[in-house]
Structure 1
Amino acid sequence: MALSLVQTLRPPTVPTFVRALSTSPYGRTHVWKKRAPKLPKPFVPHFPQRVVLADGSSFIHHTTSPRGTFRSTRDTTNNPLWNSLVAREGEEEEGKLVGRMGRFSKKFEGMEISDIEVEGSSSKE
């Protein structure tokens, strides 16, 4: 009896929820606390590097590579995509040697136009 009397005198306890950090309806799972990093950020060394281009010009830039010099064999000075003058230099010679027209010119190299006309006109008659 004594227990039932104590229970009746005490008001019923209602659990209360208090939101500490977030007022989001989704809860606190997506709210991250900013914590101090456990390890310091790594130090990445940067070295000066001289880049020598194909035409002999050079410049210095800073990189993570420890090599002191870098010699470029293909760069903007001799690449046909970057320098259109380089592409035009070999264009005439290349057109004569490769492709259908190149094969045609090799095949009929010794013939003259007058020989072809004479053969063509006699076959029509």
Structure 2
Amino acid sequence: MSLNTSFRRATTSTGPSKSLLKSTTSTSSTSPSPYICTQCRHASLLRRPKRPYTFTQLIALSDGSTFLHRTTSPTPVYRSTRDTRNSLLWNPTSKKLLTVEDDEAGRLAAFRAKFGRSFDAAGTAAEEAAAAVAGSAGPPKAMGQNIDMKQAQDAAMDAAAEKALAQEEADLQEEEDSLLDLISSFGQEDNGKK
């Protein structure tokens, strides 16, 4: 229930005095609203992340090898110009890659064609020494000398191979020692200056 009141100025003929009179009107009853106001809570909207469409792409590395890859790029074939096979740091004759040295798809040949054979100079030195020993033997003279010459030739080739292997191991050991010296002497110069 509500009570409606309003204030009015009284107009009387008595003079200049003005007084406020309170007038009351009849009380009104509340009527029901035509709108129904009930609480309504909808489920909150959870947006799902958009998953872009992926294309199958053929990646061609610089050495000629290829593999398939799913990507959002619509380019069907991607030819890589810079990758691990295109670098001077990729050393195919490393001892770590002996099991991978099968040279499938001509990777090693392509690498040697691009960067030369300077990275496996120790291996080529051993091959040259063996070829020099084989070439210096000359043609055999007689049947008895033929057997002696083969034995001498085999012994010379074995000696050359052992010498080349020892030289290669010495070179590898020297490289490792110089690297270890560099690493171990890193902070020592600063301590001496202070």
TM-score (norm 1): 0.36
TM-score (norm 2): 0.25
Greater C-alpha radius of gyration: 2
